[in-house]
Chains A and B, each alone.
Chain A
């Protein structure tokens, strides 16, 4: 039905022909009419064109001998590569754990009422965000050159314990320390952002209830802050995970370094870069999935009815398909 012409007919402008009214079909007629969906031919053309490009690209990946898939599969799960993946994972886990632990402390320092703590934390964050990670890592690597010995003792007083820096700071721990210190500066700001996003009334209510201070932070503040901390934190973990490849400058046998060593020997650069890529993609995917479930955990209470997980959604889908197969028709 055309309502626009109907409105126009209400007051036909003088000197214009009034178009003849079309017969309005009955309700029964409408119910029996067949609906023809709008056809979008150009959408189809564009879709097919895109598929052709993708097919060509995949064909190239599979058939171009330059990719050298045999070498790729040979090294994908080779012992040296697996060991290197393990080192990369260790760097990520320790870097994240130490970085965020220090970051949380720094965040609370910046939010504390003590001007001294605020200033110290602010300066730390300023410094470590200013120094490029690679420069910082090289500093740590050369620590022994700056300080021959590290000791524990009374400040400005006698030394009680001392270590030879050469032994203390192995290449791996130098890398972990470097990554963690760098990470802490960013983590501090992310954690602080999460904390200040929590409604001030929450802490006021906790204080009015006499809940002990530490408990207020752990039980009331942080779980709510986690909601805005998590997406950013996951970004940081993933970029730290890939950022560990920078550590290759310190000749540590992490994934990227190991791959370089191998193609230095056999000259198969491209397939070995693909090996590293595949591992980075796989592990990033796992991290992303973990992020989804952790976020969901901290979203409890945030929505009246939480949306189903992909797994739950898949289950409802298969149940519906099965029901459809049984009755011979798809139900909504």
Chain B
């Protein structure tokens, strides 16, 4: 398949739904002014799989993740989640840009965990978690609080429901952020360096939560620098450099027998 495949004529998103394809990124280009940050990215993630994205700083990893939930608009290419085009609606041979309101609806299926947590500091832990289910999914407050309790138990913070984010450690805050993303029962979870704002001794507790999610079959794309984590959890490791995917495959291949010189150079630095 050509990396420059036209979004209009490309194998339409609808056909991928049955094949177990959850995330489909095709020929994605993104530039900020004259700077080309993504230069034709193709990535397929199957349902229930964990994909770990590695790559040097500035290679476009965050931009790719942010494009997947349409926090960034693409310049070319398209992205679909579970067969649904993100940010656009296809009518005949035209792509109609969706309104903000419709994009917000699509995002309900895509969980996003930020590097610096971005919890709402003026809301308690439980209020952070129930905010989106109550306001966007129109769940009853009672049901949402019960679900929040279960999620907090899952991330090991059942006793901190009424704390404010600033009263928690970094690792605890990130676990709340994960619980908050899970509350919408998303089809796919995106993590942008979930542990790089944490002290080394707090990294483990967050990775343990993500590993647990992987075991229960959550579809995830994780940008991280934790090679050990990638080896243990990833079904696919993707190496990005300079706005393109240089190499991808099972961890045993990409991490232990990298074929490309750039991957080898990167791994020799971080390992």
Chain A interfacial positions (CB closer than 8 Å to B) = 199, 201-202, 204-213, 215, 219-220, 223-224, 298, 300-304
Contact = CB atoms under 8 A, between A and B. Distances in A.
A220 B120 contact: yes
B138 to A, nearest CB: 10
B105 interface: yes
B166 A209 contact: no
B135 A219 contact: yes
Interface in B83-125: 100-101, 104-108, 110, 112, 114, 116, 118-124
Contacts of B100: 213
B121 A302 contact: yes
Contact of A301 (B101, B107, B118, B166): B166
B108 A210 contact: yes
The 6 lowest CB-CB distance pairs between A and B, nearest first, are A205-B118, A301-B164, A209-B132, A208-B112, A210-B108, A210-B107
Given A208-B114, A211-B135, 11 more contacts: A205-B114, A207-B107, A209-B180, A209-B181, A210-B104, A210-B106, A210-B108, A223-B122, A301-B122, A301-B164, A301-B165
B131 interface: yes
B101 A202 contact: no
B167 A304 contact: yes
A300 B162 CA distance: 12
Contacts of A211: 104, 131-132, 135-136
A205 B120 contact: yes
Contact of B101 (A205, A212, A223, A298): A212
Contacts, number: 79
B116 A213 contact: no
A213 B104 contact: yes
A298 B107 CA distance: 29
Given A210-B184, A212-B104, A301-B122, A201 B131 contact: no
A209 B136 contact: yes
Contacts of A199: 118
A208 B120 CA distance: 13
| Main DSSP-derived SS at the A contact region | helix
A208 B181 CA distance: 9
B236 interface: no
A137 to B, nearest CB: 39
Nearest to B115: A201
Interface residues of B, number: 31
B69 interface: yes
Contacts of B158: none
B164 A210 contact: no
A204 B71 contact: yes
Nearest to A224: B122
B115 to A, nearest CB: 9
A204 B100 CA distance: 13
28 contacts: A201-B116, A201-B118, A202-B118, A204-B114, A205-B114, A207-B71, A207-B107, A208-B71, A208-B107, A208-B114, A209-B108, A209-B112, A209-B180, A209-B181, A210-B107, A210-B136, A211-B104, A211-B135, A212-B136, A213-B100, A213-B101, A220-B120, A220-B131, A223-B122, A224-B120, A300-B164, A301-B164, A301-B165
A302 B166 contact: yes
A210 B167 CA distance: 26
A212 B135 contact: yes
Contacts of B121: 224, 301-302
A321 B240 CA distance: 68
A207 B70 CA distance: 10
B180 A304 contact: no
Query: Counting chain B CB atoms within 10 Å of each CB, which of A201, A204, A210, A220 scores highest?
Result: A210
B105 A210 contact: yes
A223 B131 CA distance: 14
A202 B120 CA distance: 7
Given A211-B136, A302-B166, A219 B131 contact: yes
Nearest to B116: A201
A206 B119 CA distance: 9
Interface in B114-158: 114, 116, 118-124, 131-132, 135-136
Contacts of A205: 112, 114, 118-120
Given A209-B107, A209-B184, A301-B164, A204 B118 contact: yes
Nearest to B108: A210
A202 B118 CA distance: 6
A199 B116 CA distance: 11
A211 B135 CA distance: 6
Interface string B166-210: 110000000000001100100000000000000000000000000
A216 to B, nearest CB: 9
Contacts of A202: 118, 120
A212 B123 CA distance: 17
Contacts of A301: 121-124, 164-166
